[in-house]
Amino acid sequence: MYRTGSSLSDFEDNNKVLAKKTKIVMLARADLLAECLTQAISTRFQGHEVVSLSEADSLLDGNLEDVALIMLYRIPASTFPSVIRTIHEFHPRASIGLVVENADELDSSIAGFVDEGLIHGVLPLNLHLDVCLTAIDLLMKGGEHFPAALLRRLAPRSPTGSTLPAQRDTCAEAMAPAQKSDIGRGLLTTREIQILDLICMGTQNKIIADRLGLSENTVKVHVRNIYKKMNVRNRTEAASRYFRHDGDAGPPRWRN
């Protein structure tokens, strides 16, 4: 009887090991928004363990293993560099997402970490919750998510010191074709330009499909064609190229 009980206990222990969940860590100063976002993440990603931390030193806890994503919110700029170093040293496989109030007003020292590729995503608070959770899912799968406003700030500067290209509206319909740079060797259709503009605004495929009256599969096909024509691998690279003139680009050419 005792041997049988021991075997069942071992079986249960083994199952607990097999059922071990990867972790999503929310490192934030406690406030209502952090609590609500943590709850939303817990509900959406039930296959993961969500851990709330208020102190960066808690990242050094030896029991904090199998971390897939670390979300940062309201981290002081003065301590931000040490937090990033700690994450990369102790949780090198974890993606890093930064929740900010306004991408336009992101501290320049923090924006530098984005420019260096040390942060994998930036999520402004004005994102719709569904879009925010989709972006978090993208980060956990090794992708990146950056708002267009931040990418414009990080765009290369001309010898005169002005950002390239000049400030513009984000909607394709509001822009004259002559204001757009030639992107890649292929020519983007009007529909692809519309989708690219929405991509640059951080809009996910499902939302793009709904906004343009297309199926999500159709949007995915357009996105693949955009990547191919622009010779880029992901949304970040596409947006980055869209906000600057390529040195070898010819005159603007767009087709309907």
Q: Do 146 and 202 meet the contact criterion of CB atoms below 8 Å apart?
A: yes
CA dihedral over 75, 203, 163, 169, signed as positive or negative: negative
The DSSP call for residue 180 is: S
218 C-beta neighbours (distance < 10 Å), count: 16
Q: pLDDT tens across 195-213, in order?
A: 888 888 778 888 888 888 8
Residues of the chain below pLDDT 70: 1-20, 152-186, 243-256
Query: Tell me, what's the pLDDT at 19?
Result: 52
Give CA–CA dist 134/137, Å, rounded: 5
């959770």: which residue's tokens? 133
Angle at 130 between CA 128 and CA 133, to 5 degrees: 110
Burial code (b: 16+ CB inside 10 Å, e: under 16) for 85-115 equals ebbeeebeebbbbbbbeebeebeeebbebbe
Give CA–CA dist 120/34, Å, rounded: 19
Instruction: Kindly list the distances between the CA atom of residue 174 and the CA atoms of 178, 190, 193, 223, 254, in Å, as whole numbers in the listed order.
Output: 12, 13, 12, 21, 15
Q: Which of 87-90's residues contact partners 24+ apart within 8 Å by CB, and which partners?
A: 87/59, 88/118, 90/59, 90/60
Query: Tell me, what's the pLDDT at 243?
Result: 65
**Domains plus CATH for the chain?**
2-152 (3.40.50.2300), 158-242 (1.10.10.10)
Query: Tell me, what's the pLDDT at 154?
Result: 67
Query: Tell me, what's the pLDDT at 253?
Result: 36
Query: Tell me, what's the pLDDT at 47?
Result: 92
Query: Tell me, what's the pLDDT at 143?
Result: 84
pTM of the model: 0.55
**DSSP symbols for 140-175:** HTT--B--HHHHHHHS-B-TTS-BSS----SSGGGS
- H helix runs in 29-144, sequence order: 32-44, 80-90, 108-115, 129-140
Which phi and psi angles does 240 have, rounded to 5°?
-60, -45
Query: Tell me, what's the pLDDT at 235?
Result: 83
Which amino acid, residue 90? Answer: F
